[in-house]
Structure 1
């Protein structure tokens, strides 16, 4: 059984990295003492295939999807993927699940984007009832949810190990903890820029955040946190 994540992890955009760069990244993250390597799923590498590769190129590092798009595979396949990776690499794969965004679901995959909390709750329920061969089935699955709003955070506390909030502020982290309680896993992604120059930091930050500013899920959360349309 996977233990509660501790220490610092690294979230890395893997979409543009080649095979040798991915292997090197996993090894460097582990050598530097980070406990967890998080990676996304969009339109590049398939989530579980990449997870298996990163696990194979490290020794004890926890590898975590951040996140796997629930529209990319049915709940049984997600259960098989989780159970398979943890069968080959015991207690080292952490499954982050998310509802993704309308463009990546409807435009790219041709699915209908459902109500986020309702859709995620059904997905988790179906994972729980998936029939997986007993030789590989995990007794308990370590799952965290991409959660921004209060209702998804409540679902993460009730039906998963915890939450993976992304593109959020420290005040959101405090709110998430108050909603979820003290014991649930709260794996917060926090962007940093290695510079002492404020102008450079803002330029880099604006460039990196530009793609997220086009996505309604993030915009709505920032507005809820008190940002104005002009600031976004």
Structure 2
């Protein structure tokens, strides 16, 4: 599935007023973004929310980034995916994640990430209407999960990573599979305000073990993870500044081997960050 070079990742495209979501999605489609990504948010009607975006747009791809395999049954996802692909022209990409041990335990299961994901993919393959490998990706961060994604899905959608991580991931994947990293952005030129907005978003994730371990593997230290993130960490995983500065980070991911980079505006004052998306429109297409 061709996602284009850049996309928008947005919590608001799941949580805002439905009418505002539809209007914003139509405008983003017209801007030329290749894909609109929505998060799993711990469950809910991810297929219904995807359909709202599909119905409001004409050509942009809709990507789930990502649903937890503990909160969504594979059979239901496969059936819903097939229905939406038939109705809207194969524009839906399913992103899958193993989340963390707490999510697995909440579902009454032990936590064995690789075998759990492998089994879920088996269920998608064995469904009456299977989800093709090319229409699903994985939120892989570690080497073993990245290799599994390269073998059994279109590729990977890693969260909170640097261009250096994109380069290492491309080396693991080889030249074929999709590499579509998430990139948080703050369209703010003042360093203090930009970093404050970034820390307000990052703090929750830095306390999560799987993301902390990923950042440590990327070369950061425990000290970098403390207090909402050091300047070094914030500047490495959040792109801030004007559109040119943010565009430079996008290009760095592409030069490192990424096929597609999706931008998540954080720290915006408004519920739906239309002003910021319009400011970044030069990076679409």
Give aligned pairs, total.
224
> 1:42, 1:104 within 8 Å by CA — same for their partners in 2?
no
Following superposition of structure 1 onto structure 2, how do residues 23-34 of structure 1 map, counting pairs within 5 Å?
23-34=22-33
SS of match in other structure, 1:71: coil
SS of match in other structure, 1:227: coil
| Cα distance, 1:76 vs structure 2 | 1.4
User: Which residue of structure 2 lines up, in the alignment, with residue 190 of structure 1?
Assistant: 183
Q: Specify which of 152, 157, 160 is matched with residue 164 of structure 1.
A: 157
> 2:42, 2:67 within 8 Å by CA — same for their partners in 1?
no
| Cα distance, 1:43 vs structure 2 | 4.0
> 2:137, 2:157 within 8 Å by CA — same for their partners in 1?
yes
| Cα distance, 1:174 vs structure 2 | 0.5
> 1:148, 1:165 within 8 Å by CA — same for their partners in 2?
yes
**Larger deviation, residues 63-72 vs 97-106:** 97-106
- Ranked by relative contact order (alpha carbons within 8 Å, sequence separation 6 or more), the top structure is 2
TM-score by length of 2: 0.74
CA offsets per residue over residues 178-218 of structure 1, 9 Å max, x none?
Answer: 00011111111111111221111111110010111121110
| Cα distance, 1:140 vs structure 2 | 6.0
CA distance in 2, matches of 1:189, 1:141: 19
Q: Specify which of 99, 124, 127 is matched with residue 121 of structure 2.
A: 124
User: Which residue of structure 2 lines up, in the alignment, with residue 147 of structure 1?
Assistant: 140
- Shift of the 138–114 alpha-carbon distance from structure 1 to 2, 3 Å rule, reads closer
- Shift of the 94–53 alpha-carbon distance from structure 1 to 2, 3 Å rule, reads same
> 1:13, 1:39 within 8 Å by CA — same for their partners in 2?
yes
**Larger deviation, residues 47-56 vs 25-34:** 25-34
- Shift of the 43–129 alpha-carbon distance from structure 1 to 2, 3 Å rule, reads closer
Residues 1:7 and 2:5 aligned together = yes
CA distance in 1, matches of 2:24, 2:131: 28
- Shift of the 93–165 alpha-carbon distance from structure 1 to 2, 3 Å rule, reads same
Higher relative helix content: 2
- Shift of the 139–229 alpha-carbon distance from structure 1 to 2, 3 Å rule, reads closer
Gaps of 5+ in 1: none
> 2:114, 2:145 within 8 Å by CA — same for their partners in 1?
yes
RMSD: 1.8
> 1:4, 1:185 within 8 Å by CA — same for their partners in 2?
no
TM-score by length of 1: 0.90
| Cα distance, 1:131 vs structure 2 | 2.1
Gaps of 5+ in 2: 226-285
User: Which residue of structure 2 lines up, in the alignment, with residue 114 of structure 1?
Assistant: 111
Residues 1:219 and 2:215 aligned together = no
Residues 1:100 and 2:93 aligned together = no
> 1:166, 1:190 within 8 Å by CA — same for their partners in 2?
yes
> 1:5, 1:185 within 8 Å by CA — same for their partners in 2?
no
